Structure 1
Amino acid sequence: MSAPSVTGAAFALRTQFFVMGLLFATWGVHVPTVKAHYGLGEQGVALAMLISGVGALTALAHAGRIVGRHGPRVIAAVMGTASCAAIAVLIATPYYAGLAVAMLVFGACGSLFDVSLSSEASEIERLTGKPLMSGFHGMFSLGGMAGAGFGSLVPAMGLSAQGHLLLATGASAAAVLMASRFMLPVPDKAAAAEHHPLSLPRGPLLLLGVLAAMGLIAEGAIYDWSVLFMKQDRASDASTAALAYASFSGAMAAGRFGGDWVRARMQPRRLMRASGVLAAGGMALVLAVNSPWVSLLGYALVGLGLSNVVPVLFSAASQLPGVAPAHGIAAVAGVGYAGMMAGPPLIGLIAQHSSLTMGLLVVVVFAIFMALAAKRALRAA
């Protein structure tokens, strides 16, 4: 096969981001399924999410070196396929230990998949000289919308939960393997030369990481808890509940597809401040108004508000002087995932002792914090 072109690699990367979003959505719409299958309370579900976060954080400690040594193309193919396999077996056994292993694998492999794709996106931005990161991440959101939309149709189709998991992950694995053939086979030599695991970042990387943590806590809360919130607190049926994820992802996709245009015209810190305010307002609307349809509108506002947080931060991290792109992204992602790892258990613990509504109030608090911290964290951007 001839060497991949930048145009072909960009198309392949969009496909990979779409698949990653679809996988997260498939997990998200089946949180109630997992809860019922294993007979769990909110705290038990939160523990499974914590296990996934531990896997992600552990893998991110070595992500820069691994992606740098083997290149994004190889890592995307291997870790993307492994992520598909982990989601496929979510309810394949009656034992919680089986769920724990699946979530650990999904967290570890999914994080390496994520870093490999963002590293490739940074390289394509460099080669083209254009801001493209938001558009690439928009495909993640589009995949989330598609995955949640398909999940909402499953009850009407008469497809079992396990059948849905196998169908979605089988198609995703095939797409991952096909698309990876067209990615750029360029290892990051600077990152590959580093043999020590990632340590706690300092200076600008730490500030970017803290901001990423705020955004990812809010984003992860919607991925993991929105469908369950709609079913339990808004008495929605399964199809309407799944639309919460679709509404959030659809708005996030729209925001990201327009994000590169916005990023070219708006300072990152101003964009981040506006993002936090919009996300906080949308989540407050979800929690304050007892209507499923108003909740869907609120989730859309949250998605729009959070749409460009990760693209802006990852792009900034990949462009810091003296820092290899894969290491910069992995460092910021590591702090971000640490925050996201703590978020779901915290929400679950609050929900277990109070209500899921009170638990999701955390999203409002962190979104406001993100807005307030934007000026200092992105001072040089």
Structure 2
Amino acid sequence: MVRKGGLSGPFLLAGLPGFRRRDNHIGMNGKLWTMRLVFGMAGVGILVWAIIIPYAKIRFQLSDGELGLVLLAGGVGGVAVMPFAGMAVARFGSRTCTVAATLLMCLLLPILGVAPSVYSFTLLLFIYGATFGTLDVAMNAQGAVVEALSGKLHMSRFHACYSLGMLAVALVASLTLKLGGTVETICLICTVGVLLGLTQSFRLVPKSGDALPAGRHFAWPNRHALILGLCCFAAFMTEGAATDWSTIFLRFSRHMPIDSATFGYAAFAVMTTLARLTGDRLAMRLGQPAVMRMGVVVAVAGFALAVGVDSGVAGVVGFGLVGFGTGNIAPLVFSAAARVPGMAANHAMSAVVGIGYAGFLTGPVMNGFVANHSGLGSAFLVDALLVGLTFFAARSVA
């Protein structure tokens, strides 16, 4: 449990004299702002990927089914790399892995935009998924170290910057396309931006300062890590469902015009960001389990509103509540993953992120399967049920 005024357990590492000296060398504020920048760059990377996808569908003349199989490559790459990402963090340090993965992401983004064939695009998407999976493990591990050194919770605000990075790309992409630019131009602009941000990586904590315990060899998740992973699975599954299906639900089930139906995901994204900007302070005041339980209640209420009230406005408000409720689940889980009892931090982090990725990968598919048999409303109720179950696992994030 986190109490007002500081953290306990592994966060007491921040009080060790060696860590104070390292902290004073560059400054905690510098580390915190650089960490936020790293998460923002990751948000840039994931949304540019999302922007490239529809253009690839048109360029390669793919059906929806064929595109689904191509997209599967990215998710499989992300899940497959998780054990190796954890071992790489232990061997080279979270800062080195974060920088290396970000550089590779910058190399791949422009190439993805000009891939000559669907086969090369699929292969590149697999590599990009593996790269982003490595970045996800490394930056969350680095974020946990910075959080421990500061003695306060910061993970929610780190993840808020991830969301802000995505929103920044959406604005840049819209402006670029209106001015006559192409998707290749968007890729180059965002790549240059990320490379400029990466120049601040020297402020991150080096391997010698990785205060969290690390194991070099593969390890299966223990019970605690598995519970955290399943909580992450539910949160990521909900995020995937809102991303892929909220607009479709509002367009075809609530009969909203297509330009208005997009407000459902916009509300989800904005409210997720808002929740993360305020989550750390709430967790410090009320405790992580309480914040998680309140979020679950709000998310389930949002699903109930969206599905139970036959109104487009209610649907938009409902998806906004889902975003606000689930926004802090993943940050709380990632913060807790760095201090799982009886398991090295890098192994626990990679296991939790890997299980979460599986939720993001399989969730939209599950929604489509249930919707095909019982309607999209029923699919969202399944999401609500799985998110609701995390209420009983909230103690695991303490």
What TM-score do the two structures reach when normalised by structure 2? 0.81
1:181 match: secondary structure: helix
Deviations 1:241-290 (A, max 9, x none): 77665543332221111101111233434433332343344356556656
Identity of aligned residues (%): 29
Structure-2 separation of matches of 1:118 and 1:211? 16
Give 1:204's match in structure 2, choosing from 224, 232, 235. 224
Corresponding residue number in structure 1 for 2:49: 27
- Could you tell me which of 309, 316, 321 is aligned with 2:329? 309
Distance 1:43 1:350 in 2: 17
Q: 1:95 aligns with which of 117, 127, 134?
A: 117
The CA distance in 1 between the partners of 2:101 and 2:242, in whole Å, is: 24
Report if the CA contact (8 A) 1:50-1:345 is conserved. Answer: no
Which residue, out of 166, 178, 193, partners 2:199?
178
Structure 1 spans left out of the alignment, 5+ residues: none
Match for 1:138 among 148, 157, 160? 160
Cα deviation, residue 342, structure 1:
1.7
Query: In the TM superposition, what is the alpha-carbon distance from 1:167 to its structure 2 partner?
Result: 1.8
**Deviation of the 1:210 alpha carbon:** 0.8
**In 2, Cα distance between equivalents of 1:348 and 1:173:** 38
Contact kept in structure 2, 1:29 and 1:227, CA below 8 Å: no
Alignment partner, residue 393 of structure 2: 376
The match for 1:86 among 108, 111, 115 is: 108
SS at the partner of 2:200? helix
Does the aligned pair in 2 maintain the 1:115–1:330 contact within 8 Å? yes
Gaps in structure 2 of 5+ consecutive residues: 1-23
Distance across 2 between alignment mates of 1:228 and 1:99: 26
Native 8 Å contact 2:234 2:383 kept in 1: yes
The whole-number CA distance in structure 1 between the counterparts of 2:47 and 2:247 is: 10
Conserved? CA contact 1:68–1:189, under 8 Å: no
Contact kept, 8 Å, 1:13 with 1:179, in 2: the verdict is no
Matched-pair contact (CA < 8 Å) for 1:48–1:100: yes
Question: CA-to-partner distance for each residue in 1:70-103, whole Å, 9 max, x for gaps?
Answer: 1122111111122233333334235221221222
For residues 49-87 of structure 1, give each alpha carbon's deviation from its aligned partner in whole angstroms, at most 9, with x where no partner exists. Answer: 321121111111122211121112211111112223333
**Count of equivalent residues:** 371
Match of 2:184 in 1: 162
Whether the aligned pair in 2 keeps the contact of 1:279 and 1:364 (CA below 8 Å) is no
Equivalent residue number for residue 367 of structure 1 = 384
Counterpart CA distance in 1 for 2:241 and 2:138 is 24
Aligned position for 1:262: 282
Contact kept? 2:83, 2:347, Cα under 8 Å: no
Map residues 1-381 of structure 1 onto 2, 5 A cutoff.
4-175=26-197, 177-186=198-207, 188=210, 193-195=215-217, 197-199=218-220, 201-224=221-244, 235-237=257-259, 246-283=266-303, 291=312, 296-347=316-367, 358=376, 362-376=379-393, 378=395, 381=398
Give the greater-gyration-radius structure (CA): 2
**Distance 1:210-1:71 versus aligned 2 partners, 3 A rule:** same
Letter in 1 for 2:44: L
Deviations 1:111-133 (A, max 9, x none): 11111111111111211211111
Structure 1 Cα separation of the partners of residues 227 and 178 of structure 2: 47
CA distance, structure 2, for counterparts of residue 283 and residue 100 of structure 1: 34
- TM-score (norm. length: structure 1): 0.84
Q: Distance in 1 between matches of 2:52 and 2:266?
A: 13
Moved more, 14-23 or 94-103: 94-103
